[in-house]
Each structure stands twice: as C-alpha cells, then as structure tokens.
Structure 1
C-alpha cells in the first residue's frame, strides 16, 4: 500500500477549515473514500460538506 496525502477543506460552524490527512491506501480513489469517512465520523459531517482539493502520493 502507498501513502497518500489528501488536502482540502470542510465546513464547520464558523466557516471553512483546511485539512491535510495522511492515508495508507492502495490507490487514490480509496484514499479519498477513507478521508471522507474519517472526517465525517470525527466531525459529524456529510460528504457534501467536505471538499477534497488535492491527493498526492508521498
């Protein structure tokens, strides 16, 4: 598995917050899905409230 860095922003009560998450995944699409699931569960967000701007392999 490769490590990907997923960056973007999500909507919270005061506006938007930027994030960078390092994720171990077999490909870029799986890294996106893991990030959406993790942020959604940690912050009580829906997928429409999360904007992924970039996924890079590290």
Structure 2
C-alpha cells in the first residue's frame, strides 16, 4: 500500500474550509473515495460539497 496526500476544501457554514489528509490506499482512485467517505462522515457532508483539488503519492 502507498500513502497519498489529499488536499482540497469543503463547504461549511462560514464558506469553505481547507483540508489536507494522508491516506493509505492501493491507488489514487481508492484514496479519493476514502477521503470523500471520511470527510462526509466526520462533517456530515455530501460528496458534492467536497472539492478534491490534488491527490499526490508520497
């Protein structure tokens, strides 16, 4: 498994909040899905409210 750094922003009540998270995944697509799932469950967001800007393998 590789480590990926996912950066982006999500919509909150004050506008947008930036985030950066590190995820262990097999490939870039799995890292994207995991980031969307994790942020959605933590902040009660829909996938359309999350904007993934960059996924970089470390």
TM score, norm. by length of structure 2: 0.99
In structure 1, distance between residues paired with 2:46 and 2:53: 17
What's the offset of the Cα at 1:34?
0.2
Q: Which consecutive aligned stretches of 4+ in structure 1 deviate over 3 angstroms post-superposition?
A: none
The Cα RMSD (Å) is 0.2
Which sections of structure 2, spanning at least 5 residues, go unmatched? none
Pairs within 5 Å for 1:1-58: 1-58=1-58
TM score, norm. by length of structure 1: 0.99
> In the TM superposition, what whole-angstrom CA distance separates every residue of 1:10-45 from its partner, at most 9, and x where no partner exists?
000000000001000000000000000000000000
Which sections of structure 1, spanning at least 5 residues, go unmatched? none
